[in-house]
């Protein structure tokens, strides 16, 4: 019986139903990952030591472009500013892109790592600031380059087109839009799928998280200027105090979420700055407020933004202000929506590779990412959460209730080897699965 089954399998493989090399390679082996790891860890440390701020990623972009050219990619630079696009065509088949961010943050590194950043630079306002890869973009670039290397070295095992997108200015939610505006989906092969990972201290290294549907929120930055009538603090009766109007307005804004939106539709209205006045006994002419607004659904987004302006106008009118407040939405990004069907397929492939216990469903968050912009023209996107915390430290923190330093913290540092190797495994596996989809 065993001989009969074995002969049947052999006959199938040698006959019309024969398995192709592309079908056989579903994930990179540990040996394949080990073969590219030294180069990728060197790239990571170099990127980490030499971070650059959003819109100024010239040296970072040059390093990524150079690595891709050495791997045989068709490379274009200067897309949407400093953006890099590397294309590897390998016959007919799907077009799959990955996104890796180039930029770092104005954060002083306090990790104590031997390859820590000591970079300082002047920001766009001319202020000297420290710079750190505090959000793991250096890891994302290195993971993506590991994937790019494995695909270039194993072209006989897959078919289609693979694109590495090195995107600038994610931290200022401008880079994706800029690249798309400069023809990312028209000058280059339009992707059938775009994939990304984002590291996190919320999972231990070796695990990956997924969130079907909404996984990160819309984000809108709003500046509001309230105009009053200034004067001496001892004679408020002859003024229109914009500080009092601002105080009432801030409190009234809190009712937007608590009373105007469905409790099952998440929304956040946060006033992050208040600027007004120069002295304790002077009532100023105006007060400036800066808000961040987070939502998922587009209809909720529109309602919340309209309500912010409506309430500001009403409070100013109630106080007798002669000039309506000025409300400006100056920075916006859509919600990240992971295509549920594609997410399910990728998750199944990763469960086969990593084991079901290492692929866990995570709740959506109210943070934002301009990865959302790649959904344009109906392109499905998937972003997964890559565990980056040392497993023992993570377990101890969970037991004690301590929150580990995460992205945007000066203390954030991925547990490098398992995070990088797992990231390459996850991203290559996901890309291979997407390349096999028709």
Domains of the chain and any CATH numbers: 19-216+335-435 (3.40.630.10), 218-333 (3.30.70.360)
CB-based contact 295:372 (threshold 8 Å):
no
Tokens in use for 162?
Answer: 């693979």
The whole-angstrom separation of Cα 162 and Cα 99 is: 11
Q: Where are the beta strands (DSSP E) in 113-173?
A: 120-122, 128-130, 160-167
Concerning whether 103 is annotated as a catalytic residue, the answer is yes
Residue written as token pair 């990088």:
420
Looking at the DSSP assignment, which residues form a beta bridge with residue 86?
Answer: 75, 164
Distance CA 205, CA 386 (A): 7
pLDDT value at residue 23: 53
Task: Provide the terminal-to-terminal Cα distance of the chain, rounded to the nearest Å.
Answer: 37
The percent helix, strand, coil of the chain (3-state, each to 5) is 40, 25, 35
Residue whose C-alpha is closest to residue 289's, from 348, 343, 248, 233: 248
Strands 208-210 and 336-338: unpaired
Query: Catalytic: which of 52, 138, 170, 385?
Result: 170
Report the chain (438 residues): mean pLDDT per 10 consecutive residues.
Answer: 32 35 77 98 98 98 98 98 98 97 98 98 96 98 98 97 98 96 98 98 98 97 98 98 98 98 97 97 98 97 98 98 97 96 98 97 96 95 98 97 97 98 98 91
> How many Cβ atoms sit within 10 Å of the Cβ of residue 415?
21
Q: Which of 52, 57, 101, 103 is catalytic?
A: 103
| Confidence at residue 19, expressed as pLDDT on a 0 to 100 scale | 36
Q: Is 315 a catalytic residue?
A: no
pTM, entire model = 0.90
Query: What CA–CA distance (Å, rounded) separates 109 from 131?
Result: 8
Q: Are 340 and 212 in contact (CB under 8 A)?
A: yes
Beta bridge partners of 194: 97, 381
């Amino acid at each position: 019986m065993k001989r009969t089954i074995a002969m049947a399998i052999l006959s199938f493989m040698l006959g019309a139903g024969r398995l192709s090399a592309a079908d056989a390679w579903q994930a990179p082996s540990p040996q394949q990952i080990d073969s590219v790891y030294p180069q990728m860890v060197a790239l990571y440390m170099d990127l980490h030591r030499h971070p650059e701020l959003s819109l100024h990623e010239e040296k970072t972009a040059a390093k990524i472009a150079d690595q891709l050219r050495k791997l045989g990619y068709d490379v274009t630079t200067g897309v949407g500013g400093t953006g890099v696009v590397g294309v590897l065509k390998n016959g007919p088949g799907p077009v799959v892109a990955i996104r890796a961010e180039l930029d770092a943050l104005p954060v002083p590194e306090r990790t104590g790592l031997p390859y820590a950043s000591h970079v300082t630079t002047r920001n766009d306002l001319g202020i000297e600031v420290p710079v750190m890869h505090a959000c793991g973009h250096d890891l994302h670039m290195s993971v993506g380059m590991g994937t790019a290397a494995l695909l270039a070295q194993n072209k006989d095992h897959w078919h289609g087109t693979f694109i590495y997108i090195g995107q600038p200015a994610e931290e200022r939610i401008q880079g994706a839009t800029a690249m798309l505006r400069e023809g990312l989906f028209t000058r280059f092969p339009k992707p059938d799928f775009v994939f990304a990972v984002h590291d996190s201290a919320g999972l231990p290294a070796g695990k990956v998280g997924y969130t079907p549907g909404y996984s990160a929120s819309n984000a809108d930055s709003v500046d509001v200027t309230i105009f009053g009538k200034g004067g001496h603090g001892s004679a408020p009766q002859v003024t229109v105090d914009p500080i009092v109007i601002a105080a009432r307005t801030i409190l009234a804004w809190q009712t937007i979420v608590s009373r105007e939106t469905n409790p099952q539709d998440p929304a956040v209205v946060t006033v992050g700055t208040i600027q007004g006045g120069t002295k304790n006994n002077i009532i100023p002419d105006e007060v400036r407020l800066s808000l961040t607004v987070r939502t998922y659904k587009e209809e909720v987004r529109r309602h919340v933004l309209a309500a912010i302006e409506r309430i500001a106008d009403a409070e100013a009118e109630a106080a007798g202000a002669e000039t309506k407040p000025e409300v400006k939405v100056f920075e916006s990004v859509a919600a990240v929506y992971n295509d549920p069907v594609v997410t399910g397929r990728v998750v199944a492939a990763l469960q086969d590779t990593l084991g079901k216990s290492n692929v866990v469903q995570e709740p959506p968050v109210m943070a934002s990412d301009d990865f959302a912009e790649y959904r344009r023209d109906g392109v499905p996107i998937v972003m997964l959460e890559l565990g980056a915390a040392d497993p023992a430290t993570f377990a101890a923190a969970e037991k004690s209730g301590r929150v580990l330093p995460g992205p945007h913290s000066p203390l954030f540092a991925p547990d490098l080897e398992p995070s990088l190797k797992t990231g390459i495994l996850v991203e290559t596996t996901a890309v291979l699965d997407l390349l096999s989809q028709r």
